[in-house]
Structure 1
Amino acid sequence: MHGRDGMSGTEGATFRSRVRGCLLGGAVGDALGAPIEFDSLNVIRRNHGREGLTDFVHDWRGKVGLVTDDTQMTLFTVEGLIRAGVLQREKGVGGAEVDIVRNAYLRWLDTQEHQAPPAADGLVRTGWLREQAWLYSRRAPGNACLSGLRRNLGPLAGPGMPGPVNPGSKGCGTVMRSAPFGLAAPDASSAFRLAAECAQITHGHPTGYVAAGAFASIVFFVSRGGTVSQAVRETLRLIAERPAHEETTAAVEAAVALAGEGRPSPEAVETLGGAWVAEEALAIGVYCALVGEDDIDRALLLAVNHSGDSDSTGSVCGNLLGARHGEAALSQSWLSRLEGRDTVIELADDLTDLVIGSGDPRPDRYPGT
């Protein structure tokens, strides 16, 4: 990770807004899709009308605006990247990002296995984020994420080879947590590399980690001012040089072609798959962001109203368009009811301070690794 010293005040403010927008937008999309994640399109329309879901709705607990493991893991990704950046800046220690992010995911695992913050255990289970009581709630976490974190990681795979953990899994759990790599990286290639490496912490299928890297690259480009279309084109060129890119490339190209046809609809979304696997989640998120780039509300609703993994596709679309337009473009009605909003903003600002070199996060928040 590298600072961006020399960024002007205006540029820094814009980037801060985009980082907030990326994380808040992803959380909003996640919360919109969560109550209908396992519903077919027919059931969604039967329960919510012909237009499908049009607002936050109560979940089975009778609450609205609750996020899932997608947002939870994204926040712990941010925390891991901040810790890695602080370690590099203060002690000159680089290259430990994968181990540090994995430790952050172990803190997330505690939120799935305990009802409140457990006793601190060395450096792995310390820090500010793990003390946020609202995170201690099991929100349908993916099996590969859970099982992968219970195994030793071992050496990472070479490019295009199956990773050491869950080598046959390419679930969307790699993509839905990977936007922060694009926000923190100094360039798109670095965003791709680190997201792909950290995806191997839980998912070893090459497509699973290539799709995560591609998503991080797209986020990098839009958070630096590119349009979604430009970001996708640049990312397709970047991943064409990577081994095992074919499934991800085909899925994203299908999304681009579908967007070019116009007439967006849930039926069109479903031609791209169910989003239970990484490349399909990426493709649906990209498609909805492309056709709804100038109308975030419309894009997010399109991203969740389908028979597949609605919270993950809503999250991916929200990450992209939030990074593209900044937090001001997000619906205040949705933000005002979003679970954990203050925590998301604080993490976003700490990450921004580190990236643009405008200050260091408080040491008590991000101790050790």
Structure 2
Amino acid sequence: MSSPAAPAATATPASPVWGRAEQQDFRSRVRGALLGGAIGDALGAPVDTLPMSAVRETHGFAGVLDLAPAHGRRGAITAATQLTLFTVDGLIRAQVRRDTGAWHPPTDVHRAYLRWSATQHDWGPDERRAEDGWLAREEWLYVRRSPGRETLNAFRDPAMGTLDRPRNPDSTDPAALARSAPFGLLVGWEPPLVLQLAVECAAQSHGHPTSTLSCGALAVLVHGLARGEGPAAAVQRTLALLATRPGSPPVTAALHTALEAVRQGTPTPERVASLGDGHTPEGALAIAVYCALVGEDIRHGLRLAVNHDGASATTGALCGALLGAMHGETALPPGWLAELEGRPTVLALADDFAMEMTQGPALHGPTTSAPGWLARYPRA
């Protein structure tokens, strides 16, 4: 499913040198991507899978314009955000384990997904398991928020799906895509490595080439935006990388369709719907990219992303991650942030990720160790 020339996600990237201003900008973009994705998820959750006619019947002709109740509260997130947070946790743990010579990020991400799986089956965190780290002890995550059956089954089995032996190789569900934005925040990595890691980790639950390469495409898009590239340049870089990968035509076609839709005039729910319903990875990616490109601001882009016939929580989460990486935390709507479920956890994880990426050697190098860091992110 991957090109024979594709770089292995186990290749060790060089560590960049960060100035103070660069660190602050990066932290803002990490916060923006994770909080933006969670906000988009929460905005789309109340209307997820509803036809646009039903959305309009409840929310008016313009559709859903504000956070509305879902799962018993306003601002509730779904399994997409839960898994995104555990993706970040796995990436931090991979960096921490890099010092030991046990460098295999797909394995560390998979272990994080197994910890998420425990939240879906256990009553609450097991305080005796110190190796779980802090995120797995967040009690608010121990709820089921509509995870897909394929995802649940894939991560109940401790054996890891690989590109050679993927889980659900015939599935074109966008569930893996919805958790893949954090791979793009590895801004010290080169884009081909970012794409490869996202592809390998997608195969752990959804191994169809369209699924895995959609995940890789999203990661490269976020990577470019988080590095300060313009959206047009990020899309072109992504298309160039996809061109080298077997099985990529459905994904590249979806991105081209999104670009063509941008040139067709005023965005409407009907134009968004022409890109798909968000129930396939390439369709969800096309909607998210289109809405990120035409959105006047984050609020406008997210409203476009969730008002259509289909998987609104997924497309909202993807668009929010793109817009957040592009504009940073300060561009996010304050009112939506205030109501977002789990916001303190998302912020803490975002800041830990930014700190790990910019200051990792000082936190857990051969001769130094920040107090408590290895308790939060154990090497085990």
TM-score, with structure 2 as normaliser:
0.91
Compute the displacement of 1:262 (Å): 2.0
CA contact (8 A) 1:3 1:356 kept: no
Alpha-carbon distance change, 93 to 348 in structure 1, aligned in 2, over 3 angstroms = same
Q: Does 1:175 align with 2:183?
A: no
Distance 1:66 1:122 in 2: 28
CA contact (8 A) 2:126 2:137 kept: no
Distance 1:246 1:367 in 2: 40
2:111 — aligned with what? 103
Distance 2:120 2:161 in 1: 26
Alpha-carbon distance change, 350 to 2 in structure 1, aligned in 2, over 3 angstroms = farther
2:90 — aligned with what? 80
Compute the displacement of 1:325 (Å): 0.6
1:307 — aligned with what? 309
Distance 2:161 2:63 in 1: 45
State the SS of the aligned residue for 2:355: helix
Distance 1:194 1:60 in 2: 32
1:146 — aligned with what? 152
Map 1:240-255 → 2, pairs under 5 A: 240-255=243-258
Alpha-carbon distance change, 60 to 103 in structure 1, aligned in 2, over 3 angstroms = closer
Runs of 4+ in 1 over 6 A off after TM superposition: none
2:143 to 134, 137, 142: 137
Compute the displacement of 1:59 (Å): 2.1
1:114 to 116, 122, 141: 122
What per-residue deviation string (whole Å, max 9, x for no partner) do you get for residues 99-147 of structure 1?
Answer: 1111100111112122311465584xx1100100111110000121111
Q: Percent identity?
A: 44
Map 1:1-369 → 2, pairs under 5 A: 2=13, 4-61=15-72, 63-88=73-98, 90-94=99-103, 96-118=104-126, 120=128, 123=131, 126-151=132-157, 153=159, 156-157=162-163, 163-185=165-187, 186-292=189-295, 294-357=296-359, 359-360=362-363, 362-369=373-380
CA contact (8 A) 1:5 1:357 kept: no
TM-score, with structure 1 as normaliser:
0.93
Letter in 2 for 1:86: V
Letter in 2 for 1:77: T
- Unaligned runs of at least 5 residues, structure 1: none
CA contact (8 A) 1:219 1:320 kept: yes
Distance 1:32 1:155 in 2: 32
Letter in 2 for 1:357: Q
- Unaligned runs of at least 5 residues, structure 2: 1-11, 364-369
Compute the displacement of 1:152 (Å): 5.2
Distance 1:138 1:68 in 2: 8
